Amino acid sequence: MIQVENLHKHFGGFHAVDGATLHIAEKSITGLIGPNGAGKTTLFNVIAGVLKPTSGKVLMAGEDITGLEPHELFDKGLLRTFQIAHEFASMTVRENLMMVPPGQSGENLWSTWFHRARIAQEEATLRRKADEVLEFLTIDHIADEKAGNISGGQKKLLELGRTMMTDARIVFLDEVGAGVNRTLLNTIADAIVRLNQERGYTFVVIEHDMDFIGRICDPVICMAEGKVLAEGSLDEIKANEQVIEAYLGT
Ligand code: ADP
């Protein structure tokens, strides 16, 4: 689904991504691991259009998507999750979900004035969809909580929920498990697997928790110093000498 060819991203003289080549299979849950500073987040940001590459190519289903803006990639179903922004913290969990779909009539003053009935109808549809998403993620009980007050794990589920309000096909998740308790981490893992199996989502997941990676990701890609070192099952990766060396070297 995604082909990354000889990608470079340089910050001044520093090569954060240094000729990465990799392939992400459709409907896979691919794990991206590697020591701190390996270039994983930078690679994510280049694929998701947040950063422009210095050189190299990114293809999606054979189409060149290198350097497209995040909103153009969003339209193609490629999304990178972001932490709930500060300005959304005072909105409820449900409202955060209802904000996501683009092209709501309510965004435009003209249509606000002239198409009230349509807006009300669209809002009801959105609300229903948001409630379905919350139920799917088993967080319907916090629908009316302010997003700023929910736990770290619940925020991660909300980030995942935002992707479900769109026509996402491939979702990039950064550090899903950071600071999340075991129970919620299991809920997140279940949600990812169910979205993958039931709705055909492709996932690429950066995560340090190897149990989490081992449980849901296949294949796993290991990066170090801006390059791809190895790809395979987590067991294969763990047995790879270059990988061991890269982790020991940090
Ligand atoms: P990882 O996610 O694997 O920990 P990153 O992609 O965050 O790695 O970072 C790779 C390297 O690039 C790090 O050494 C980091 O300091 C550097 N880096 C990341 N972003 C920038 C930036 N905007 N400017 C300069 N250096 C950066």
Q: Please give the distance, rounded to the nearest whole angstrom, from the Cα atom of residue 77 to the centre of ligand 1.
A: 26
Distance CA 221, CA 218 (A): 9
CB count in 10 Å sphere of residue 118: 12
Sheet containing 220-224, strands listed edge to edge, beginning at the edge strand earlier in sequence: 78-80, 170-174, 202-206, 29-33, 220-224, 227-232
Render pLDDT for 26-77 as a digit per residue (tens, 0 to 9).
Answer: 999 999 999 999 999 999 999 999 999 999 999 999 999 999 999 899 989 9
Domain 1-77+168-250 belongs to what topology? Answer: Rossmann fold (3.40.50)
CB count in 10 Å sphere of residue 237: 23
Q: Please give the distance, rounded to the nearest whole angstrom, from the Cα atom of residue 102 to the centre of ligand 1.
A: 31
pLDDT bucket at 91, cuts 50 / 70 / 90 = very high
The single residue listed with the structure tokens 């925020």 is 155
**% of the chain surpassing 90 pLDDT:** 72
Residues with CB under 6 A from ligand 1: 11, 14, 16, 34, 36-42
Q: Which ipTM was obtained for this model?
A: 0.97
Distance CA 231, CA 31 (A): 10
Render pLDDT for 97-142 as a digit per residue (tens, 0 to 9).
Answer: 998 765 444 455 555 555 677 777 788 889 999 999 999 999 999 9
What pLDDT score was predicted for residue 118? Answer: 73
Q: What is the pTM of this model?
A: 0.89
What pLDDT score was predicted for residue 113? Answer: 58
Distance CA 57, CA 123 (A): 40
Distance CA 250, CA 239 (A): 18
Domain boundary assignment for the chain: 1-77+168-250, 85-166
Contact 184, 138 (CB under 8 A): no
